[in-house]
A and B are shown apart, each in its own frame.
Chain A
Amino acid sequence: MSQVSTSPALGIATKPERRDIGLRRRYAAERRFRLYGMAAIAFGLLFLFLLLFSVVSKGYTAFQQTMITIPIEFSQQIIDKNNERATNPQKLVTANYPVVARNALAKVLGVSEDDRAGLKAVNGMISDSVRVQLRNLVTADPSIIGTTQTVTVLAHGDLDSAFKGQIDLTVPETNRKVSDKQVGWMNQLAESGALSKHFNTGLFTNGASSRPEAAGVGVALIGSLYMMLIVLVLSLPIGVAASIYLEEFAPKNRFTDLIEVNINNLAAVPSIVYGLLGLAVFINFAGFPRSAALVGGLVLTLMTLPTIIIATRAALKAVPPSIRSAALGLGASKMQTVFHHVLPLAMPGILTGTIIGLAHALGETAPLLLIGMVAFVADVPATPMDPATALPVQIYMWANEAERAFVERTSGAIIVLLIFLILMNVGAILLRRRFERRW
């Protein structure tokens, strides 16, 4: 066992003088950069939060609607005084249903049938849409005439706003839309349980209406749905086919360069220009109907195509060339190489690009204004050839309305639009995960 000596002769090199390689400066720069980044993100989050807060706080009340549940007497006296409904089918359609509802509410509130001012005030509490509602009830089943039915009717938009606390009651009575008397009745009805807030299904099913309580985004939703289907069905195959041809098959020469530059430019063209193009080509030249979802879909397809082509080409470019070589080296034809190997690998990118393009199209307003989709459409469009509106256009139209109740509906429609956009983006992420493969 020899002793291992820690030899004092073990030479240690003399440490050279320490150089200043600017470490402090470099670390400080990095810290500063991180700080900028965090500040930028915080700034962005703040504004996102403000936006969402403002929209949601204004819009959540739109999903509730004040309704009045009262027993209504379908008086033969008012609806069909001379009992001629068997001979004159127009009788039941043109009957004065608002008076039926007004009288019923007046009875509940104990207002005399001779008090004209009182009756007028009572009438102002019920939505005009009651005319259609009661007419539909009666025409569906004429036997209810002469009986008393419990019916839930929409409260007038102003009363709805008052009940939701959106009307400042300290303002002098003459300067506001609801009188003190109406507010008193409202509270009385609310206490008895006849007047209460219900979930606003009408917001999703009704079409345009000048009465805010009866207005909804139903037509706009269907119009937007038709347009999205048209955009998807047209732009995905056309865009992907064009990108595959340009990226994989076309020779690289001046002409294809020119096409590429033009596609990139088209992606930057203001959307209103596409609206003008659609107006000139699809409506004036091809003679398609105005305000139709078909034309809107075609215009949005033109607008979305460059986005999809650019995204698809980027996704195709990102597929490693070694995969192409492997397939070609095995004797796969160019087409087999693309469809068996390149396209599946590019799929996540293509789908993401497509859904981002679709989401962009869903929120587009300007081109739709030019092709007449900014229209008052009350009937649900049965086909894409019928007049329709779109969600963002509906928002634009409601934003121009004066009534207090339209303000909350504007925000409510924005919430619906945002939910659709979020759903589409979640779909994009899920599809991406589903198709993503490592190589």
Chain B
Amino acid sequence: MNMMSEAAVEKALDRQMNDISYKMIGKDVSVYYGEKRALYDVNLNVRENTVTALIGPSGCGKSTFLRTLNRMNDTIDGCRVTGRITLDSDDIYDPNIDVVELRARVGMVFQKPNPFPKSIYENVAYGPRIHGLAKAKADMDAIVEQSLQKAGLWNEVKDRLHEGGTGLSGGQQQRLCIARAVAVSPEVILMDEPCSALDPIATAKVEELIHELRTNFTIVIVTHSMQQAARVSQRTAMFHLGNLVEENDTDKMFTNPDDQRTQDYIMGRFG
């Protein structure tokens, strides 16, 4: 009995190692801003329960690609996306897909902490409320507490849940934004340079948090910091001038990349 279960565990682990399941698949994704083309036929797959880091010099299209994953590009006038992106098996650019539902499944954390000018509680409760995830006040309280705990913020704010979210420090605000995204229970969380406005200590906390969130969520993170990519991600994708240069295991990427440009970028020769 004991042996069997051990074997089962081993088998499960084995499957995890070999059968990679892809949460999102991007095929020949191109993005145009008006006449200007920002992405050239990117083929990039996002693995489930994995942190995928997107790196590359400024203006290389990594944020653009990130924003195609929950159709935040729709809000930009003149932005056009071609190719195919699937979430599980759904084509997210299919006319039958509702963008509101998509964004409830693919949450987002932005570069600059952007809490709503409301209380901490209201910030976290807003998403579940509009999606009708909590029936009673007790359910909502539970969601808020769990989300804040997942974001590692609960102990710091539990006594002042009804004070303004904008009164927190920058790092706390960003973790509040993460809690807000987590509260909707998305499947994927997109993070667009979440630490670029934070000091090193706050950055360390957010990175630790990303590490923990991986068990429940699939995470795609855009970062300018190579060290951050190396610390938090399992897979790394390198963009340059709108092209996907290389996508690989993070360890391999930072020790023995396949592409010369990746090597140059990581060594700091450009970018």
Q: Write the residues of chain A forming the contact surface with B, with a CB cutoff of 8 angstroms.
A: 251-252, 320, 322-333, 336, 340-341, 345, 437-439
15 A-B pairs (CB sep. < 8 Å)? A325-B75, A326-B116, A327-B116, A327-B126, A328-B75, A329-B70, A330-B104, A330-B107, A330-B180, A330-B181, A331-B131, A331-B184, A336-B130, A340-B126, A438-B166
Total A-B residue contacts, Cβ distance less than 8 Å: 68
Q: Write the residues of chain B forming the contact surface with A, with a CB cutoff of 8 angstroms.
A: 70, 72, 75, 77, 100-104, 107-108, 110, 112, 114-117, 126-127, 130-131, 164, 166, 177, 180-181, 184
Q: Which residues of A contact B107 (CB under 8 A)?
A: 329-331
Least Cβ distance of B194 to chain A in Å?
A: 12
Asked if A439 and B117 sit within 8 Å, CB to CB, the answer is yes
Asked if A322 and B112 sit within 8 Å, CB to CB, the answer is yes
Least Cβ distance of B193 to chain A in Å?
A: 13
Asked if B130 and A326 sit within 8 Å, CB to CB, the answer is no
Q: Which residues of B contact A327 (CB under 8 A)?
A: 116, 126
Asked if B114 and A322 sit within 8 Å, CB to CB, the answer is yes
In the complex the two chains form, what is the Cα distance from A64 to B87 in whole Å?
80
Q: Which of B100, B114, B164 contacts A326 (CB 8 A)?
A: B114
Asked if B130 and A331 sit within 8 Å, CB to CB, the answer is yes
Q: Which residues of B contact A323 (CB under 8 A)?
A: 114, 116-117
In the complex the two chains form, what is the Cα distance from A387 to B70 in whole Å?
60
In the complex the two chains form, what is the Cα distance from A119 to B53 in whole Å?
106
Q: Which residues of B contact A330 (CB under 8 A)?
A: 103-104, 107, 126-127, 130, 180-181, 184
Asked if A329 and B103 sit within 8 Å, CB to CB, the answer is yes
Least Cβ distance of B130 to chain A in Å?
A: 5
Asked if B114 and A325 sit within 8 Å, CB to CB, the answer is yes
In the complex the two chains form, what is the Cα distance from A322 to B112 in whole Å?
8
Asked if B130 and A332 sit within 8 Å, CB to CB, the answer is yes
Q: Which residues of A contact B130 (CB under 8 A)?
A: 330-332, 336, 340
Q: Which residues of A contact B131 (CB under 8 A)?
A: 331
Asked if B166 and A329 sit within 8 Å, CB to CB, the answer is no
In the complex the two chains form, what is the Cα distance from A23 to B72 in whole Å?
51
Q: Which residues of B contact A332 (CB under 8 A)?
A: 100, 126-127, 130
Known: A329-B72, A330-B127, A330-B184. 9 other contacts (CB 8 A): A252-B77, A325-B72, A325-B114, A326-B177, A330-B130, A332-B100, A332-B127, A336-B130, A438-B166
Asked if A438 and B101 sit within 8 Å, CB to CB, the answer is no
In the complex the two chains form, what is the Cα distance from A274 to B99 in whole Å?
45
In the complex the two chains form, what is the Cα distance from A439 to B102 in whole Å?
27
In the complex the two chains form, what is the Cα distance from A306 to B250 in whole Å?
57
Asked if B117 and A438 sit within 8 Å, CB to CB, the answer is yes
Asked if B103 and A439 sit within 8 Å, CB to CB, the answer is no
Known contacts A336-B130, A345-B117; is-contact A328 B110 (Cβ 8 Å)? no
Least Cβ distance of B214 to chain A in Å?
A: 20
Least Cβ distance of A434 to chain B in Å?
A: 14
Known contacts A252-B77, A439-B166; is-contact A329 B108 (Cβ 8 Å)? yes
Task: State the 6 A-B residue pairs at the shortest beta-carbon distance, nearest first.
Answer: A329-B108, A331-B104, A322-B114, A331-B103, A330-B127, A439-B117
Closest to A322 in B: B114
Q: Which residues of B contact A328 (CB under 8 A)?
A: 72, 75, 103
Q: Which residues of B contact A341 (CB under 8 A)?
A: 116
Least Cβ distance of A344 to chain B in Å?
A: 8
In the complex the two chains form, what is the Cα distance from A341 to B114 in whole Å?
12
Q: Which of B103, B112, B117 contacts A437 (CB 8 A)?
A: B117
Q: Which residues of A contact B126 (CB under 8 A)?
A: 327, 330, 332, 340
In the complex the two chains form, what is the Cα distance from A341 to B122 in whole Å?
12
Closest to A328 in B: B75
Q: Which residues of A contact B116 (CB under 8 A)?
A: 323, 326-327, 341
Closest to A336 in B: B130
Least Cβ distance of A248 to chain B in Å?
A: 11
In the complex the two chains form, what is the Cα distance from A348 to B60 in whole Å?
40
Asked if A326 and B110 sit within 8 Å, CB to CB, the answer is yes
Closest to B165 in A: A439
In the complex the two chains form, what is the Cα distance from A345 to B115 in whole Å?
13
In the complex the two chains form, what is the Cα distance from A345 to B108 in whole Å?
22
Q: Which of A325, A340, A345, A438 contacts B110 (CB 8 A)?
A: A325
Least Cβ distance of A181 to chain B in Å?
A: 75
Least Cβ distance of B106 to chain A in Å?
A: 9
Known contacts A326-B116, A439-B117; is-contact A333 B77 (Cβ 8 Å)? no
Closest to B127 in A: A330
> Which of A324, A330, A438 has the most B CB atoms < 10 Å from its CB?
A330
Closest to B129 in A: A340
Closest to B123 in A: A326
Q: Which residues of A contact B177 (CB under 8 A)?
A: 326
In the complex the two chains form, what is the Cα distance from A34 to B167 in whole Å?
37
Closest to A324 in B: B75
In the complex the two chains form, what is the Cα distance from A95 to B131 in whole Å?
78
Least Cβ distance of B121 to chain A in Å?
A: 15
Least Cβ distance of A319 to chain B in Å?
A: 10
Asked if A331 and B110 sit within 8 Å, CB to CB, the answer is no
In the complex the two chains form, what is the Cα distance from A276 to B184 in whole Å?
57
In the complex the two chains form, what is the Cα distance from A252 to B104 in whole Å?
27
